[in-house]
């Protein structure tokens, strides 16, 4: 009987799912305005952290969600030299809001780049 129960538990289907998060892909606006080719920046936001691969440093940057500056329609991830500000904007005459991202150099007090983003809800492993 014990072997039968163990065998039953081994083959019982597992219905566990990972947490739902956001996969954000942002494209530099210079791509649309000037026709230049830019590689999209990819981000992941989950319940516990914000993840981003920094090409300049060649490593993943991770910020705890509790350390993000958040508001009703925005969040900001602050790094050593710059910050990334994500905002949901509803343009006049449009029904669906858009996400934009700006890279801000707070040491020199100037915006470096602006991006248009697409957001996908996804289960994060």
Q: Domains in the chain: how many in total?
A: 1
d(CA 100, CA 85): 8
pLDDT at 64: 93
In a domain, 9, yes or no: no
In a domain, 6, yes or no: no
Residue 75 belongs to what domain range? Answer: 16-123
pLDDT tens per residue, range 80-93: 888 999 999 998 89
Picking from 88, 83, 85, the residue whose alpha carbon sits closest to that of residue 73 is 88
pLDDT at 23: 92
Longest dimension (CA), the chain: 72
Return the CATH number at 107. 2.40.128
Q: What is the pLDDT along the chain (125 residues), one digit of tens a residue?
A: 676 566 555 566 655 555 678 899 999 988 877 777 888 999 999 888 999 888 777 888 889 999 999 999 999 999 888 899 999 999 889 899 999 999 999 889 999 999 999 999 887 65
CB 54 within 8 A of CB 61: yes
In a domain, 5, yes or no: no
In a domain, 1, yes or no: no
The CA-atom distances, in angstroms, between 85 and each of 56, 72, 94, 123 are 19, 13, 22, 23
């Amino acid at each position: 009987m014990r072997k039968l129960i163990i065998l039953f538990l081994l083959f019982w289907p597992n219905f566990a799912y990972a947490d739902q998060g956001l996969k954000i892909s942002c494209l530099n606006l210079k791509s649309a305005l000037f026709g230049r080719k830019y590689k999209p920046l990819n981000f992941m936001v989950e319940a516990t952290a914000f993840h981003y691969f920094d090409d300049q440093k060649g490593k993943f940057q991770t910020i705890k969600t509790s350390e993000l500056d958040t508001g009703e329609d925005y969040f900001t991830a602050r790094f050593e030299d710059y910050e990334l500000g994500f905002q949901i904007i509803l343009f006049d005459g449009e029904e669906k809001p858009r996400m934009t991202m700006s890279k801000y150099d707070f040491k020199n007090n100037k915006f470096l780049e602006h991006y248009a983003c697409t957001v996908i809800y996804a289960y994060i492993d």
